[in-house]
């Protein structure tokens, strides 16, 4: 058995952050049932280009492998009845909706505890279920700006810059997955469920970490740095070589000494201007000028080979293609292949969570309502008559 084979999650999720949270749990064996609203033709991620046809997209495939799909109109009385029956057979109700919506559509713990006292209700929203912004929508770009990330990112003379990835969405998804697992542990121990209130804004703020501590306790406002340099450790940044860029990270004194040896300048390590973290920080402009000249004299491949021979932490600045083709990527089984009726063979990166000896197996993302009949019959035990009555009452349609 996989670690979460005995867990069932009802996921009212869409787009990126929510599905990213539950796909890790699905990869670990959880039965994640996507409740897709037929009024909006399901998860909006189905319609994100490029590589989008009909109700399928590679964007959707990325976040929804190993899940099941059921169309359900929860604003309909009969649809709500089906949802409540699903709650009786589930462990978690997970949503990524606006912070005020879980109460409005009655999917909080107070709403569902009489149906299933051990149900864990996890909400992943933009600003959380409390506070003055709870009813505002929010997206990754907004949080990268609002939480100060963009002000800290980019060249010192350039505009505020976002990350090349939706890191708030993805980090928020991981936080939600942690919250779900913690809630499950508590519910199974005590027999009582709860609400888990996860906010993307909170997540982005929490990831300010030590720059926030520096400001809150000493009034220090961190500044952008050239070449993605660490704010206080030198050298710890990207360096340009004769034919590209590499990253060097001297996070310990021994690495600084090894770097000097690798660059055939062992005495540099003991120069009083550079012989400690604080000295190098004070004299970083002088030091970086010396190092830049040395790095520009060698090609990236030769540099990395030599630095690694001396035990200096370093790496290449890869393109996306190079990162996906790295031998380490392949050795760690980080790319899986599934078969899709529209796209054929689909390759994608998978969850980095390794629990137990094996990863997988992996199943393609579901077509909309692909599993509806199976769920109604084999999970809920409805017969054909009941299903037809629910269909006629509008439980599964817009």
The verdict on whether 169 is a catalytic residue reads: yes
232: Cβ–Cβ under 8 A, 6 or more apart, which residues?
A: 277, 281
What is the arrangement of strands in the sheet containing 68-71, beginning at the earlier edge strand?
Answer: 68-71, 31-36, 8-12, 92-95, 120-125, 194-199
Distances (CA, A) of 121 to 42, 98, 99, 109, 380: 21, 14, 13, 6, 20
Do 144 and 161 touch, CB atoms closer than 8 A? no
What is the rounded distance in angstroms from the CA atom of residue 70 to the CA atom of residue 38?
Answer: 9
What is the rounded distance in angstroms from the CA atom of residue 292 to the CA atom of residue 230?
Answer: 16
What is the rounded distance in angstroms from the CA atom of residue 372 to the CA atom of residue 285?
Answer: 63
Sign of CA dihedral 60, 63, 65, 66: negative
How many Cα atoms occupy the beta-carbon half-sphere of 139 within 13 Å? Answer: 6
Do 156 and 225 touch, CB atoms closer than 8 A? yes
Distances (CA, A) of 103 to 27, 303, 398: 29, 57, 22
Residue tagged active-site, from 91, 111, 140, 169: 169
The H or E element that residue 35 is part of is strand 31-36
How far is C-alpha 316 from the chain's CA centre? 24
361 cis-preceded (ω within 30 degrees of 0) = yes
So which residues are the catalytic ones? 169
């Amino acid at each position: 058995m996989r670690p979460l084979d005995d867990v069932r999650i009802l996921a009212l999720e869409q787009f990126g952050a929510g599905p990213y949270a539950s796909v890790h749990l699905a990869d670990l064996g959880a039965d994640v049932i996507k409740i897709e609203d037929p009024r909006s033709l399901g998860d909006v991620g189905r319609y994100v280009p490029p590589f989008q046809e009909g109700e399928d997209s590679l964007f959707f495939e990325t976040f929804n492998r190993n899940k099941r799909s059921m169309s359900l109109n929860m604003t309909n009385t009969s649809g709500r009845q089906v949802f409540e029956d699903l709650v009786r057979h589930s462990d978690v109700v997970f949503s990524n909706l606006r912070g005020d919506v879980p109460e409005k559509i009655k999917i909080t713990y107070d709403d569902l505890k009489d149906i299933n006292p051990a149900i864990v209700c996890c909400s992943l929203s933009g600003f959380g279920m409390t506070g003055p912004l709870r009813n505002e929508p929010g997206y990754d770009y907004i949080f990268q700006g609002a939480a100060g990330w963009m002000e800290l990112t980019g060249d010192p003379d350039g505009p505020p810059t976002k990350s090349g990835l939706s890191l708030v969405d993805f980090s928020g998804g991981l936080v939600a997955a942690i919250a779900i697992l913690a809630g499950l542990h508590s519910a199974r121990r005590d027999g009582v469920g709860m609400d888990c209130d996860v906010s993307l804004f909170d997540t982005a703020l929490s990831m300010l970490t030590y720059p926030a501590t520096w400001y809150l306790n000493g009034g220090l406002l961190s500044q952008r740095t050239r070449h993605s340099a660490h704010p206080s450790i030198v050298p710890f940044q990207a360096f340009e070589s004769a034919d590209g860029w590499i990253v060097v990270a001297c996070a310990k004194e021994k690495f600084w000494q090894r770097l000097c040896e690798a660059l055939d300048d062992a005495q540099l390590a003991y120069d009083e201007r550079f012989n400690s973290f604080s000295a190098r920080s004070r004299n970083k402009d002088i030091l970086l000028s010396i190092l830049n000249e040395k790095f520009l004299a060698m090609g990236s491949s030769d540099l990395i080979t030599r630095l690694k021979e001396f035990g200096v932490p370093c790496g290449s600045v890869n393109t996306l293609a190079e990162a996906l083709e790295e031998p380490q990527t392949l050795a760690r089984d980080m790319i899986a292949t599934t078969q899709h009726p529209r796209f054929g063979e689909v390759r994608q990166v998978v969850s980095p969570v390794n629990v137990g000896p094996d990863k997988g197996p992996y199943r393609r993302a579901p077509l909309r309502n692909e599993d509806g009949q199976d769920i109604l019959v084999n999970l809920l035990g409805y017969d054909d008559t009941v299903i037809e009555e629910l269909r006629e009452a509008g439980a599964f349609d817009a």
